[in-house]
Amino acid sequence: MRIAVTGIGIVSAAGIGKEQTLATLRASRSGLVAAPSHFRTRHALPVGEVAPNNEELARRLGIRHCTSRTALLGIVAASEALADAGAATTDNRRTALVSATSVGGMDLTENFFPDFIRDDRSGRLRMAAHHDCADSTIAIARYCGIDGFTTTLSTACSSAANAILVASRLLRHGVVDRVVAGGTDALCRFTLNGFKSLQILDPAPCRPFDASRCGLNLGEGAAYLVLERADETRNPYCLLTGAANTNDAFHQTASSADGQGDYLAMRKALETAGLSPLDVDCINVHGTGTPNNDRSEGVALRRLFGNEVPPFASTKPVTGHTLAAAGGIEAALAVLSLHHGEIYPQLNFTTPDPELNLVPVTRYIRRPIRNILSNSFGFGGNCTALLFSNRP
């Protein structure tokens, strides 16, 4: 059974919607800003921030009740994806939502506790009520009119990619007829402080695979794909032909030196598609900019492709690392790359790492693409690769 991508919705530091996002990528612009502006923090670090604040997003959506930023971003992207697919939730097709997040409603929770700690009779409890990860999924489903199957995934940086993988299985087994799949995450003090404590935040714009790389830049955003069985669609963007999830079980936050999880995810994605490494035309790599992660992914690329590594690039210097949403945002960008026949450049790269000797694409290229890999490799060794292919 073939699975088709029929709709795309995306919001990130690169812009709101497909058109703004494509304009940013094609112009080789970064969406990073010098420091967060939507919450107070002592850390002046570059981040990929979505420009509108919560009040502006809520007005845009016509929402008047207390809603987490994670849910607001997810609603923007999921509703765009459904509209793009021409999918009316009032029709007879069974529509599901598989949504991923890491921080959930933490942006509201962390504003509740300072008042509550000073006086346990104070603080707006409704803010803490949105803390659970599933709350954003429920909010998205209600806004979009999805009253069927819903579920929430949280597997770190591979979360949204795993949501897309799960969506394909739901379709293959006939559980539903259409799935909105992806993820959403918002910047907040919790994640900024947490990654700062791990000492993996770069004080400058990140430089994936560069010899001088020293960390990542956090970002926020959301992206969803609408997936349907190909024989029930007309003129889809492309097909999801391969998907695989693996785990190297190496460390809570570090990737293995031999890139085992990364390698197996890519290899198994190709196997499920019935393709070989030679069939891959380009790769949207995970490419966080940390020394460990890029080294692991680079080793895996060499193991799988040898000296014939396809053109590749990381889009994180444009969007920042959006955590659970990363797999959804980068899958959406991979689909757009495939659909339009273009490779988006990686910013900030100057010097190859002598250990890897890998050079990403650094300029905008137009060329036909048959198959593109999208990699999402998370904490805990949870690694997922998605393979998208042009329609035969």
pLDDT < 50: residue spans in the chain: none
Whole-number pLDDT of residue 108:
86
DSSP per-residue string spanning 66-85: ---HHHHHHHHHHHHHHHHT
CB atoms within 10 A of CB 308: 9
Active site residue 130: no
Whole-number pLDDT of residue 289:
96
Structure pTM? 0.95
What does the alpha-carbon distance between residue 172 and residue 220 come to, in Å, rounded to a whole number?
31
Whole-number pLDDT of residue 228:
97
By C-alpha distance, which of 25, 137, 143, 153 is closest to 83?
143
Catalytic residue among 38, 130, 286, 339: 286
Whole-number pLDDT of residue 258:
84
**Phi, psi at 328, each rounded to 5°:** -75, -45
Pick the CATH number of 3-389 from 1.10.3720.10, 3.30.360.10, 3.40.47.10, 3.30.420.40: 3.40.47.10
**Strand blocks (E) in 154-290:** 178-185, 221-229, 238-247, 282-284
What does the alpha-carbon distance between residue 25 and residue 32 come to, in Å, rounded to a whole number?
13
Whole-number pLDDT of residue 114:
74
**Phi, psi at 375, each rounded to 5°:** -105, 140
Residue 341 Cα to chain centre, angstroms: 21
Domain ranges of the chain: 3-389
Active site residue 251: no
Catalytic residue among 38, 130, 321, 339: 321
Active site residue 66: no
Whole-number pLDDT of residue 257:
81
CB atoms within 10 A of CB 75: 27
Whole-number pLDDT of residue 378:
80
Catalytic residue among 130, 133, 144, 157: 157
Whole-number pLDDT of residue 34:
97
Whole-number pLDDT of residue 161:
98
Whole-number pLDDT of residue 90:
56
What does the alpha-carbon distance between residue 73 and residue 69 come to, in Å, rounded to a whole number?
6
Whole-number pLDDT of residue 122:
65
